[in-house]
Amino acid sequence: MFTGIITHIGTVRRIEKAGDTRMTVSAGFDMDSVALGASIACSGCCLTVVEKGDGWFAADVSAETLSKTNLGNWAEGARINLERALKMGDELGGHIVSGHVDGLAEILSITPEGDSHRISLGIPLELAAFVAPKGSVVLDGISLTVNEVDGPGGGSNAVSFGVNIIEHTWNETTLGDRKPGDHLNMEVDMLARYVARLLDVRELRND
């Protein structure tokens, strides 16, 4: 489990394609304290450490993960958001995050607002029911609050919504690298996911 609070920005050092794809990532935290088999959220995608060294770790990425996330677009030298798994007693600064990506959100526009930036994003219909004003969402591993939800997002996007990025988050994550047309890994709020499932089950029982 994670909180959506980014602690480091890593760099993709090497990409090796075999049965699965192995990603080697440069990391700024103490790798002596990271066990093999540990989970690290990489731009919102929970990956398992299969190899490590001084200042780096490697993780294997399946074809399923590549098809559901933006990891397939990563190139050597790409900067990614990193968060280590939550420990008992850690401060829960964001919200409970699983690191399981539900889909991709497309950046429609980025507009400066004072010292902040307003980002408008489009999402497909299957994710729209999980997004609500003042609710939580994870974008590339970052816990954010939804400001508003609008109508059609244009293109293949059924719905658009907006988030406000304060200066600290803009500078301390990879959001400052992004531009309109880019796709971000999106994880919906866990509570919203289970509420939707409960409603589906009730509807089935009533049929």
Characterize the bridge pairing of strands 136-139 and 183-188: antiparallel
Instruction: At 168, give phi and psi (nearest 5°).
Output: -60, -50
Between CA 10 and CA 182 the distance in angstroms is: 19
Average pLDDT, the chain: 91
**Nearest residue to 177 (alpha-carbon basis) of 47, 10, 14:** 10
Question: Quick one: which H or E segment has residue 48?
Answer: strand 45-53
Q: How far apart are CA 96 and CA 169, in angstroms?
A: 18
Q: For residue range 69-94, what is the model confidence (pLDDT) as tens digits?
A: 999 999 999 999 999 998 776 777 77
- Domains of the chain, first to last: 8-84 (2.40.30.20), 103-198 (2.40.30.20)
Q: Name the pTM for this structure.
A: 0.90
Torsion sign over Cα 93, 80, 194, 120: positive
DSSP assignments along 130-159, one per residue: T--TT-EEEETTEEEEEEEE-S--BTTBSE
Residues 38-73 pLDDT 10s: 999 999 999 999 999 999 999 999 999 999 999 999
SS3 34: coil
Q: Strand 116-123 to strand 136-139: parallel, antiparallel, or no bridges (unpaired)? A: unpaired
117 contact partners, CB below 8 Å, separation of at least 6: 110, 111, 164, 165, 170, 175
Query: What pLDDT, on the 0 to 100 scale, is given for residue 96?
Result: 85
Tell me the β-bridge partners of 161. Answer: 121, 149
What are the C-alpha distances in Å from 65 to residues 19, 22, 103?
A: 13, 12, 10
pLDDT, tens digit, for every residue of 120-158?
999 998 898 899 999 999 999 999 999 999 876 667 778
